[in-house]
Structure 1
Amino acid sequence: MEEHEAQAQAHKLLGQKPQAPPRRPDTALTRTLRSCCVIPQRYILGVMGLLGVCNAYTMRVCLNLAITQMVIHVEKNTTGLGANYTAPDTCPNELVTNATKIVTKPYAIFYWDEKTQGLILSGFYYGYAATQVPGGYLAEKFGGKWTLGIGLLSTALFTFLTPVVIRAGGATWLFILRVLQGMGEGPTMPALMIMLARWVPPHERGFQGALVFGGAQIGNIFGSFMSGILLADGRDWAYVFYFFGGFGILWFTLWSLLCYSTPNTHPYISKKELAYLNNNVTTAENISTKDPVPWKAILRSAPVWALVWAAVGHDWGYYTMVTDLPKYSHDVLKFNIATTGTLTALPYIAMWICSFLFGLICDYCVKKGWHTIKTGRIIHTTVAATGPAICIILASYAGCDRTAAMVYFVLSMALMGGFYSGMKVNALDLAPNYAGSLTSLVNTTSTFAGIATPYLIGLMTPNSTLSEWRGAFWVCFAVLVGTNVVYCIWADGKQQWWDDVRQYGYPPGWKHGSLTKEEIPEQPETIKLADGKE
Structure 2
Amino acid sequence: MLSSWKTCCKCIPQRWILAVMSCFAIMNGYTMRTCLSIAITEMVTTTNQSSNHTSSNEVCPASELSTSSIGSSSGTHEWTEYTQGIILSSFYWGHVISPIPGGMLADKFGGKHVLGLGVLSTAIFTLLIPVVVEAFDAPGLIVLRILIGMGEGTALPAMNVVLAHWAPPEERSMMAALSMAGMKVGTMLGNGLSGVLIQNSSIGWPIVFYVFGGVSIVWFLVWILLCHSNPDDHPFISDDEKNRLRKTIHEHTRKDVGPIPWRHLVTSGPLWAILVAKVCWMWGYYVTLTDLPKYMSSVLKFSVQANGLLSALPYLVLFFVSISSSWLADWLIKTERLSRTNVRKIFASFALATSAVCLIAASYAGCDRLVVTILFTAGVGTMGPIFSSVMVNALDLSPNYSGTLMGITNGIASLVGIVAPYAVGVLTPNQTFSEWRIVFWITFVANFVAILIYDLWASGEVQYWNDPDFRKGQKTATRVQRVSTDKI
TM-score by length of 1: 0.84
> Deviation string for 1:179-234 (max 9, x for gaps)?
00000011101111111111222222232122211111111111111101112157
Instruction: Rate the CA distance shift 1:196–1:455 in 2: closer, same or farther, 3 A.
Output: same
CA contact (8 A) 1:283 1:432 kept: no
Equivalent AA in structure 2 for residue 48 of structure 1: M
For residue 254 of structure 1, the aligned residue among 222, 240, 243 is 222
| Structure 1 position 368, deviation (Å) | 4.5
Name the counterpart of 2:181.
Answer: 214
Partner-residue secondary structure (3-state), 1:75: coil
| Identity value in percent | 41
Name the counterpart of 1:444.
Answer: 411
Name the counterpart of 1:238.
Answer: 206
| Structure 1 position 390, deviation (Å) | 1.1
CA contact (8 A) 1:120 1:174 kept: yes
For residue 92 of structure 1, the aligned residue among 49, 61, 83 is 61
CA contact (8 A) 2:177 2:323 kept: yes
**Which one has the largest radius of gyration?**
1
Name the counterpart of 1:224.
Answer: 191
Partner-residue secondary structure (3-state), 2:48: strand
Equivalent AA in structure 2 for residue 261 of structure 1: S
CA contact (8 A) 1:380 1:419 kept: yes
Name the counterpart of 1:510.
Answer: none
Equivalent AA in structure 2 for residue 491 of structure 1: A
Equivalent AA in structure 2 for residue 93 of structure 1: A
* Number of matched pairs: 475
Aligned equivalents of 1:516 and 1:55: distance in 2? 41
Equivalent AA in structure 1 for residue 345 of structure 2: I
Partner-residue secondary structure (3-state), 1:136: helix
> Deviation string for 1:64-85 (max 9, x for gaps)?
11000001111243559xxxx9
| Structure 1 position 43, deviation (Å) | 1.8
Superposed structure 1 runs of 4+ greater than 6 Å apart? 522-525
Whether 1:483 and 2:450 are equivalent positions in the alignment is yes
Name the counterpart of 2:31.
Answer: 58
Aligned equivalents of 1:76 and 1:347: distance in 2? 28
Aligned equivalents of 2:466 and 2:124: distance in 1? 37
CA contact (8 A) 1:312 1:445 kept: yes
Aligned equivalents of 2:422 and 2:33: distance in 1? 16
Task: Map 1:72-471; keep pairs closer than 5 Å.
Answer: 72-77=45-50, 79=52, 87-93=56-62, 103-106=71-74, 108-232=75-199, 235=202, 236-282=204-250, 286=254, 289-471=256-438
- Any gaps of 5 or more consecutive residues in structure 2? 482-488
> Deviation string for 1:282-331 (max 9, x for gaps)?
168625x4311111100011111111000001111111110011000011
Instruction: Rate the CA distance shift 1:268–1:422 in 2: closer, same or farther, 3 A.
Output: closer
Whether 1:69 and 2:42 are equivalent positions in the alignment is yes
Aligned equivalents of 2:378 and 2:479: distance in 1? 51
Name the counterpart of 1:46.
Answer: 19
Instruction: Rate the CA distance shift 1:349–1:292 in 2: closer, same or farther, 3 A.
Output: same
Equivalent AA in structure 2 for residue 89 of structure 1: E
CA contact (8 A) 1:388 1:416 kept: yes
Equivalent AA in structure 2 for residue 68 of structure 1: T
Q: Normalized per residue, which structure has more helix?
A: 2
Say which is worse superposed, 473-482 or 392-401, in terms of deviation: 473-482
Aligned equivalents of 1:445 and 1:383: distance in 2? 24
- Any gaps of 5 or more consecutive residues in structure 1? 1-27, 96-100, 506-514, 526-534
| Structure 1 position 175, deviation (Å) | 0.7
> Deviation string for 1:84-131 (max 9, x for gaps)?
x97331101269xxxxx764533x111111111111101111111100
Aligned equivalents of 2:251 and 2:114: distance in 1? 19
TM-score by length of 2: 0.92
| Structure 1 position 40, deviation (Å) | 2.4
| Structure 1 position 428, deviation (Å) | 1.5
Say which is worse superposed, 340-349 or 263-272, in terms of deviation: 263-272
Say which is worse superposed, 168-177 or 225-234, in terms of deviation: 225-234
Aligned equivalents of 1:366 and 1:486: distance in 2? 22
Instruction: Rate the CA distance shift 1:79–1:436 in 2: closer, same or farther, 3 A.
Output: closer
| Structure 1 position 160, deviation (Å) | 0.8
Aligned equivalents of 1:369 and 1:273: distance in 2? 24
- The root-mean-square deviation of aligned C-alpha atoms, in Å, is 2.4
CA contact (8 A) 1:197 1:284 kept: no
Aligned equivalents of 2:158 and 2:269: distance in 1? 24
Which structure is richer in relative contact order (CA contacts within 8 A, separation 6 or more)?
2
Name the counterpart of 1:508.
Answer: none
> Deviation string for 1:435-467 (max 9, x for gaps)?
111111111111111111000010000111111
Partner-residue secondary structure (3-state), 2:86: helix
Equivalent AA in structure 2 for residue 158 of structure 1: F
